[in-house]
C-alpha cells in the first residue's frame, strides 16, 4: 500500500504535468517499475513520480518546480549504473527525472572532430553517428546498447579503451547543465583551449547527478580505426599481466587500445554460459589485448612481435590471435560477457578498485586469503581493465550459504577489500562511481580536508541538498534520523 501524496506534492505533480505534458509524468506503480529498480535488482526505491522531459527548457521547468517545492530529484539515464546512484530512496517523495526522451544528435563535425548530443542519447547511437562520418567515438562499455551519454558523463565512465583514449572526462569539450534551481548553464562550447577561469564542466563530470542535470554535451571524435589485431592470451600470473603492458607498449605504441584481464573462475563463467575459449593451455589468468589503427595500418606485426617477446620471457603461456571479425567478436565476448554471467550465482558483492599497476599482484595476493579467512568458501570473480590498474573484484556466495545469509556479510567483506586497497594507496571506485552504496565508505577513506572540499562544492551549487541526496557524499547525520 502506498501513502497518498500530501497537498503540496499534489500541487507539484500538477505543475510537472503542465511542464512536460500529462503522459510524461508517471505515477502508476506499474509504470514506475521500469525505473525504480536498477538493472541487477540490487537497489530499489519508491519514487513520487517519474518525469520525462523532452527538452532542456522542460528540464529547467521541472527543476524550478521541484526546487520551489523542496522536493529531491534523482536523474536517470539508462539505469545501467553499478552503484545504486539512479534510484530514489523509499520515502515516496523523490522525483526520478528520466532523460530517455532527449536523444537527439544535434551536430556531427568530422573536420572539427566533435559531436554534439543530448544527454539521453544511447552510447551505441553516438558511436554509430560518429562512424557515419568515418570517425570513432571511443568510449566502449559492455552496456553501450542501453547506457546514455548523460550517465557516462555523470559517472565519468571508463571501459575497455581507456588505455588509449582516457575516461569519459577526456572526451568532453562542453556541457549544458540545468542547475538545481532550474537555471541553465550553457557551457556547450567546442573549444580545445579555454583558460578563462575555473573549468566548470569538470565539476559536473563524475558528479552522479548531485550538482544538476546534464542535458547536452559536445564530445570529441577520433580518426576511425578499422584495422584491428586482437589476441586472447594465457598468462603466467598477475605480475606478468603488468609486465606485459610494458612489452605491448614498446611494440604497439599508441595503437595499443585494450589490455584486459580475466581470472580463471571468471573465464569459466562465460565458458559455462556457452562461449568457447580457443586456448587449451590451462592458466589461472587470461587476457584480451587489442591494437587498432587506420585503414591499411599494420597492427598485426607489432602484436605478434610483442606476444613473441612475452612468450620468450615466460610472461605469456599461450596465445590465440583472431583471424576474422567473427573470431574477434568471440574473443571480446570472453571478456565482455563476464559481468552478466556472474549473475547466475545470485547477488554479487561488487568492488571496482584501482591500485598502481605495479601493486596489482600484491593486491591480488593479499586480498584473496583475507577474504577466505573472513568467510571461507566465498567465490572470487576477478577481472577488469588491467592496463588501467582497475580490477572488478567481485564476490559470490559460498555454496553452503543462501543469498540472504551471504548478503549479511557484504559490508564486512567490502571492508576487507577496501582495507587492502587503502594499504596500497588505491581507489575503492575506479570507474563505476560511488552512488549511494559506496558514498560512506569513500568518505571514510578520504581525508577531512578532501571531504570538506567536496561538501563545499555541493553546498555552493546545491545548497538545499535536493540533487540526488545521499549519492557521492553521505547524507549529513541530521537527515538520517
Positions touching ligand FAD (CB under 6 A) are: 39, 74-82, 85-86, 99, 119, 141-143, 147-148, 150-152, 154-155, 157-159, 208-209, 213-214, 339-340, 431-432, 435, 468, 471
Three-state SS string over 89-130 comes to: CCCCCCEEEECCCCCCEEEEECCCCEEEEECCCEHHHHHHHH
Any long-range contacts for 251-256 (C-beta under 8 Å, 24+ apart)? Answer: 251/302, 251/303, 251/305, 251/306, 251/309, 252/291, 252/299, 252/302, 252/303, 252/306, 253/302, 254/164, 255/164, 255/291, 255/292, 255/293, 255/297, 255/299, 255/302, 256/163, 256/164, 256/289, 256/291, 256/387
**Among residues 3, 108, 99, 85, which one has the least CA distance to residue 53?**
99
Residue in the shown chain whose Cβ atom is closest to ligand FAD: 151
Judged by beta carbon distances under 5 to 8 A according to partner kind, the member of ligand FAD, ligand 2HG, none in contact with residue 53 is none
Strand partners, 220: 114
As measured in angstroms, the least distance from the Cβ of 80 to ligand 2HG is 9
Q: Does 392 bind ligand 2HG (CB under 6 A)?
A: yes
> How many residues bind to ligand 2HG according to rule CB under 6 A?
7
Q: Does 346 bind ligand 2HG (CB under 6 A)?
A: no
| Residue placing its CB nearer to ligand FAD in the complex, 80 or 348 | 80
Angle at 329 between CA 105 and CA 40, to 5 degrees: 65
Judged by beta carbon distances under 5 to 8 A according to partner kind, the member of ligand 2HG, ligand FAD, none in contact with residue 64 is none
Residues 6+ apart with CB under 8 A from 273: 337, 341, 344
Judged by beta carbon distances under 5 to 8 A according to partner kind, the member of ligand 2HG, ligand FAD, none in contact with residue 394 is ligand 2HG
Judged by beta carbon distances under 5 to 8 A according to partner kind, the member of ligand FAD, ligand 2HG, none in contact with residue 79 is ligand FAD
Q: Using CB under 6 A, pick the residue from 112, 113, 142, 368 that binds ligand 2HG.
A: 142
Judged by beta carbon distances under 5 to 8 A according to partner kind, the member of ligand 2HG, ligand FAD, none in contact with residue 392 is ligand 2HG
| Residue placing its CB nearer to ligand 2HG in the complex, 67 or 335 | 335
> To the nearest 10°, the Cα dihedral for 446, 205, 121, 255?
-90
As measured in angstroms, the least distance from the Cβ of 142 to ligand 2HG is 5
Contact present, 178 and 63 (Cβ < 8 Å): yes
**Among residues 206, 332, 210, 207, which one has the least CA distance to residue 270?**
332
Q: What is the rounded distance in angstroms from the CA atom of residue 287 to the CA atom of residue 240?
A: 10
| Residue placing its CB nearer to ligand FAD in the complex, 210 or 367 | 210
Please report where in the chains the cell 525505473 appears, as a residue.
Answer: 35
Q: Does 350 bind ligand 2HG (CB under 6 A)?
A: yes
| Residue placing its CB nearer to ligand FAD in the complex, 306 or 461 | 461
| Residue placing its CB nearer to ligand 2HG in the complex, 51 or 289 | 289
What CA–CA distances, in Å, run from 315 to 14, 114, 142, 359, 389?
65, 40, 28, 17, 18
Q: Using CB under 6 A, pick the residue from 339, 378, 429, 437 that binds ligand 2HG.
A: 339
| Residue placing its CB nearer to ligand FAD in the complex, 213 or 219 | 213
As measured in angstroms, the least distance from the Cβ of 193 to ligand 2HG is 32
Judged by beta carbon distances under 5 to 8 A according to partner kind, the member of ligand FAD, ligand 2HG, none in contact with residue 213 is ligand FAD
Residues that bind ligand 2HG (CB under 6 A): 82, 142, 339, 350, 384, 392, 394
Amino acid at each position: 500500500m502506498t501513502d497518498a501524496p500530501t497537498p503540496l506534492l499534489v500541487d507539484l505533480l500538477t505543475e510537472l504535468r503542465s511542464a512536460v505534458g500529462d503522459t510524461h509524468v508517471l505515477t502508476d506503480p506499474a509504470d514506475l517499475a521500469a525505473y525504480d529498480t536498477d538493472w541487477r535488482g540490487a537497489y530499489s526505491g519508491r519514487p513520487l513520480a517519474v518525469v520525462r522531459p523532452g527538452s532542456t527548457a522542460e528540464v529547467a521547468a521541472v527543476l524550478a518546480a521541484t526546487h520551489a517545492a523542496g522536493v529531491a530529484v534523482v536523474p536517470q539515464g539508462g539505469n545501467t549504473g553499478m552503484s545504486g546512484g539512479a534510484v530514489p530512496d523509499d520515502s515516496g517523495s523523490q522525483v526520478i527525472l528520466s532523460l530517455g526522451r532527449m536523444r537527439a544528435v544535434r551536430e556531427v563535425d568530422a573536420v572539427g572532430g566533435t559531436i554534439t548530443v543530448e544527454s539521453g542519447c544511447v552510447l551505441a547511437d553516438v558511436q554509430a553517428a560518429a562512424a557515419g562520418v568515418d570517425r570513432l567515438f571511443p568510449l566502449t562499455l559492455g552496456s553501450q546498447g542501453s547506457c546514455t551519454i548523460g550517465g557516462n558523463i555523470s559517472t565519468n565512465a571508463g571501459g575497455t579503451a581507456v588505455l588509449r583514449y582516457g575516461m569519459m572526462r577526456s572526451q568532453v569539450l562542453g556541457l549544458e547543465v540545468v542547475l538545481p534551481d532550474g537555471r541553465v548553464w550553457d557551457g556547450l562550447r567546442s573549444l580545445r583551449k579555454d583558460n578563462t577561469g575555473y573549468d566548470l564542466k569538470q565539476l559536473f563530470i563524475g558528479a552522479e547527478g548531485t550538482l544538476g542535470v546534464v542535458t547536452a554535451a559536445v564530445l570529441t571524435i577520433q580518426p576511425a580505426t578499422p584495422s584491428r589485431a586482437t589476441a586472447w592470451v594465457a598468462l603466467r600470473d598477475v605480475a606478468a599481466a603488468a609486465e606485459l603492458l610494458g612489452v605491448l607498449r614498446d611494440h604497439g605504441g599508441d595503437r595499443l587500445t585494450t589490455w584486459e584481464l580475466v581470472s580463471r573462475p571468471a573465464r569459466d563463467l562465460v565458458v559455462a554460459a556457452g562461449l568457447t575459449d580457443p586456448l587449451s593451455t590451462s592458466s589461472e589468468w587470461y587476457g584480451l589485448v587489442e591494437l587498432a589503427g587506420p585503414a591499411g595500418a599494420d597492427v598485426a606485426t607489432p602484436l605478434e612481435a610483442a606476444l613473441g617477446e612475452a612468450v620468450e620471457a615466460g610472461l605469456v603461456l599461450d596465445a590465440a590471435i583472431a583471424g576474422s571479425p567473427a573470431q574477434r567478436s568471440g574473443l571480446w565476448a570472453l571478456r565482455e560477457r563476464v559481468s552478466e554471467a556472474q549473475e547466475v550465482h545470485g547477488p554479487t558483492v561488487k568492488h571496482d578498485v584501482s591500485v598502481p599497476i605495479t601493486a596489482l599482484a600484491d593486491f591480488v595476493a593479499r586480498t584473496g586469503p583475507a577474504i577466505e579467512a573472513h568467510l571461507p568458501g566465498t567465490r572470487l570473480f576477478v577481472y577488469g581493465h588491467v592496463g588501467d590498474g582497475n580490477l572488478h573484484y567481485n564476490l559470490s556466495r559460498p555454496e553452503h550459504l543462501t543469498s540472504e545469509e551471504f548478503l549479511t556479510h557484504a559490508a564486512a567483506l567490502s571492508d576487507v577489500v577496501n582495507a587492502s586497497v587503502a594499504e596500497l594507496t588505491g581507489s575503492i571506485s575506479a570507474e563505476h562511481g560511488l552512488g549511494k552504496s559506496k558514498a560512506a565508505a569513500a568518505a571514510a577513506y578520504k581525508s577531512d580536508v578532501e571531504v570538506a572540499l567536496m561538501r563545499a562544492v555541493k553546498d555552493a551549487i546545491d545548497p538545499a541538498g535536493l540533487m540526488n541526496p545521499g549519492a557521492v557524499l553521505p547524507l549529513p547525520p541530521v537527515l538520517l534520523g
